[in-house]
Structure 1
Amino acid sequence: MAAPLTLLLVVAVTIRAALFRSSLADLIADRVEVVSPLTAWKRVVEGLALLDLGVSPYSGDIFHETPLIIYLFHFVVDYAEITFVLADVITAVALYKAVQEYNKQQFRKQKYALELDHYPLDCLDLIQSPKEMYYIPLKVAMFYLLNPFAILSCIAKSTCCLNNAIVALFILSTIKANVLLSAIFLSLATYQSIYPIILCAPALLHLMQNQYIPVNFRRASFWWFIAQYAFMCLGSLFVIIGLSFFLLGSWDYLSSVYGFILSVPDLTPNIGLFWYFFAEMFEHFRLFFLCVFQINTFFYTIPLSIKMRDHPMFLIFMQLAVISIFKSYPTVGDSVMYLAFLPVWSHLQRFLRNIFLVSCILLVCSALFPVLWHLWIYAGSANSNFYYAITLLFNVAQILLVSDYFYAFLRREHHLSYGLYLKRKDGTEATLVLK
């Protein structure tokens, strides 16, 4: 598989290098679907200019990235294009390795269950064969590298690419059951944008399932393991925050980065749910609805973790989707991470109900984003309602997509436990209803 992966990387890097040299790069860098006030390269350049003048980049209301990002580009700003391409390559390779390891683990579990006759005979065709699983890691890397959203984010030099690389390394470390690296990369991802903290739930579930815990000490070891992981995460986070203070010499970045993410003061249009709603919001209701919107991202963690406690990899997929839909400043680059995992769940296709409709909606929305933006901002023949309507449709389509995969996953698991052809007590065919 090394040769196909290398060829894929060469093709992806060539596409990005060609687009960097085209006139399209400047146009994409200003697209509100691709960059946000948090991830825009122009704001990073402004922050670098202030830093070079000896002024804190957080003294104004332009720069909202973390100190480590600005100091990284302080040294590699002349090689920014290479940095973003390299970030995409790292993300793709990390996802490839993670899915490859995950498939090995799944194959071992399936083989063990088959040996013990845990699966009903009428659902053996639901079992993944090694041939089906062989090309899935390559497909995942392809879904990431050749996704137009990923290419556009890279060409726009959106710092979302760096966030994706950190999250991919976190997933790889978790699947490999490397507790320390998993905690460090989770801390880095949380440091960048807060929301990835919810990924600690699937990480803990996977790591605990791959750690040997004696039966007599299972409950004590369970809480002890959580305490260890939390200590490593918080310790890493404190070190990173302390390093940021050491580099910057002040705590100004805390309000400019995390306060900005949580309070959503910049209502620049984007593909998210916040900007239009809070632009129309009465000021005395703002705090209440702001808390409701922000809590919404974290609210699903506990119920999903309980339901998917035996399938942490699918839980990671669900959580990445929740983050990309409900975060305060989303871009299309956030959606790429969970869309890259769709080949991993290719065995669920027979149970999907709305995949064709949802795919069409996502494609149509992607095409209409720039059209409705032009009609609103430049032609003056539309207003903000038109653009927000298409963002709502885009997010509804994402919710339908994830819900459809969630339903398909649960239905397959049910069939693996009770058989593919369900019967009532009187012998007639039963219908499976998800409640």
Structure 2
Amino acid sequence: MRFDEILEYATFFFWPGSVYCRIPFSLLVVEGLALLDLGVSPYSGDVFHETPLIIYLFHFTVDYAEIVFIIVDGITAVALYLAIQIYNKNVFRKQKYALESDRYPHDCLELLHSPKEMLYIPLKVAMFYLLNPFTILSCVAKSTCGLNNAVIALFILCTLKGSALLSGIFLALATYQSIYPLTLFAPALLFLLQRLYIPVNPRRTSFWFFTAQYAFIYVGSLLVITGLSFFLLGSWDFIPSVYGFILSVPDLTPNIGLFWYFFAEMFEHFRLFFICVFQINVFFYTIPLSIKLKEHPVFLIFMQIAIISIFKSYPTVGDVALYMAFLPVWGHLYRFLRNIFLVSCVLLVCSALFPVLWHLWIYAGSANSNFYYAITLLFNVGQILLVSDYFYAYLRREHHLTHGLYLKKKDGTEATLVLK
């Protein structure tokens, strides 16, 4: 495979969260800016599907796009580093309170966190993001998915710091970019509510008052950002072109998602029904997961980000890189993981076969779309197995912390823990 083919492949598949065409980034932005200078809306055609704030951002930085994307990835890594530092402090505080209250069985003390093992976790998280090949390829392709990741990372940092105002603003900005981060509202609210009622420093704030306050900040920020976009553009053309494009999935260009092949083969009169079914997948799991993980909102954030990256209509590998950066945080779950070796092999093999089968299909002509979609399907199955395995391991550890590490039946024999 020639270098220009590799670069074209990277530019095509590691493209922004809502710009999905084979036009180099600089040409795309220059075209949008040229249309704006001529007084023509960049959304009048069917090429540009990014938000107005992005195009106006690159109006000033188009000549320094490479530096911008490098800086954005650096901001994401720093935000994740600081967020995990705060999370570790919260974990130690809750663990210390539980130990003082004698809540843990004596045979599960080996499952508790130690300062030594968690000292370098924030650095590992930052390095997992920066050195991830998916992040590097996304940066090389100049994908605006990096901007989305930075906004989400800043949202996580502000949430863990307990700033409801900044958390709501960054969540609104993330939702403005791609709709799907709306599902992060629930874990953020759960974390902020728990912060209000921690045993060390309880505050008498009404549950419904705080919920309404945070919802007002979020919705108000979203309305202000949308209104600013209208003020800059002078029309509402960006709403159907950006959000309608994400929800209706008119572009079936191959990517690493589950939508394109399925709807390419779909009969037109079934299309609306299955689009609703596919799109609901992202939002459907929010309520049951929020109920099950209501006491663990940070892990819930990880789960929701992973679900978004798997089931969104136009995913990129930059989305995968963001949730994979959190894996070092759950290093204490490795003893409970069941399929980690198999899943790791599947993800590595699929990542290697993506460009190979793309080359065989498009350039060599010795394969067809079925080959590429088979790898896409296997890659997403691997992600689902990875996330579900961590979910199982997390729940199993919490069960052991409550009932003890060595479970016994009534007759004294060893019990087997089954997740239902």
Alignment of 1:263-412 (within 5 A): 263-412=248-397
Provide the secondary structure at the position in 2 that maps to 1:174. Answer: helix
Distance 1:30 1:136 in 2: 32
Alignment of 1:169-208 (within 5 A): 169-208=154-193
Q: Which residues in structure 2 correspond to 1:4-403 (within 5 Å)?
A: 26-34=7-15, 38=19, 41=25, 42-212=27-197, 221-403=206-388
Q: Distance in 2 between matches of 1:220 and 1:104?
A: 23
SS at match of 1:65: coil
The question of whether the paired residues in 2 share the 8 Å contact of 1:67 and 1:247 is answered with: yes
Q: Amino acid of the residue matched to residue 407 of structure 2?
A: L
CA displacement 1:46-88 (0-9 Å, x = unmatched): 3223223332110100000000000000111111111101100
Unaligned runs of 5+ in 1: 1-21
Report the Cα distance in structure 1 between the residues aligned to 2:95 and 2:168, rounded to whole angstroms.
29
- Structure 2: distance between partners of 1:98 and 1:391: 32
Q: TM-score, normalised by structure 2?
A: 0.95
Q: Deviations over 1:268-314 (max 9, x none)?
A: 00000000111111111000000000011000000000000000000
CA RMSD of aligned residues (A): 1.8
**Does the aligned pair in 1 maintain the 2:12–2:20 contact within 8 Å?**
no
Letter matched to residue 380 of structure 2: N
Give me the whole-angstrom Cα distance separating, in 1, the residues matched to 2:17 and 2:189: 31
CA distance in 1, matches of 2:187, 2:257: 25
In structure 2, list runs of 5 or more residues that go unmatched: none
On the 8 A contact 2:172/2:219 being kept in 1, the answer is yes
Tell me how far 1:43 sits from its aligned partner. 3.2
- For 1:249 and 1:79, the matched residues in 2 are separated by 27
Change (3 A) 1:74 1:24: farther
Could you say which residue in structure 1 is the equivalent of 2:406?
421
Amino acid at match of 1:305: S
The amino acid of 2:34's aligned partner reads A
Aligned CA distance change for structure 1 residues 114 and 37 (closer, same or farther; 3 Å): closer
Q: Relative to structure 1, is the Cα distance of residues 177 and 337 closer, same or farther in structure 2, using a 3 angstrom cutoff?
A: same
Residue in structure 2 matched with residue 16 of structure 1 by the alignment: none
Distance 2:300 2:189 in 1: 11
What is the alpha-carbon distance in structure 1 between the residues aligned to residue 186 and residue 313 of structure 2? 21
Runs of at least 4 residues of structure 1 off by over 6 A? Answer: 22-25, 217-220
Change (3 A) 1:139 1:24: farther
Deviation at 1:34, TM superposition (A): 4.7
Q: Measure how far apart 1:30 and its partner are.
A: 2.8
Q: Which residue of 2 aligns with 1:9?
A: none
Is contact 1:39-1:160 (8 Å) kept?
Answer: no
Q: Following the alignment from structure 1 to structure 2, what is the Cα–Cα distance between the partners of residues 181 and 103?
A: 21
Query: Structure 2: how far apart are the matches of 1:101 and 1:345?
Result: 15
* Cα distance in 1, alignment partners of residues 204 and 280 from structure 2: 30
Q: Distance in 1 between matches of 2:204 and 2:269?
A: 47
Distance 2:310 2:355 in 1: 19
Q: What is the identity, as a one-letter code, of the residue corresponding to 1:30?
A: T
What is the SS of the residue equivalent to 2:315?
coil
Question: Residue deviations 1:376-413, cap 9 Å, x none?
Answer: 11111111111111000000000000000000000000
Q: How many residues align?
A: 412
Q: How far apart in 1 are the matches of 2:408 and 2:126?
A: 41
Whether the 8 Å contact between 1:36 and 1:270 is mirrored in structure 2 is no
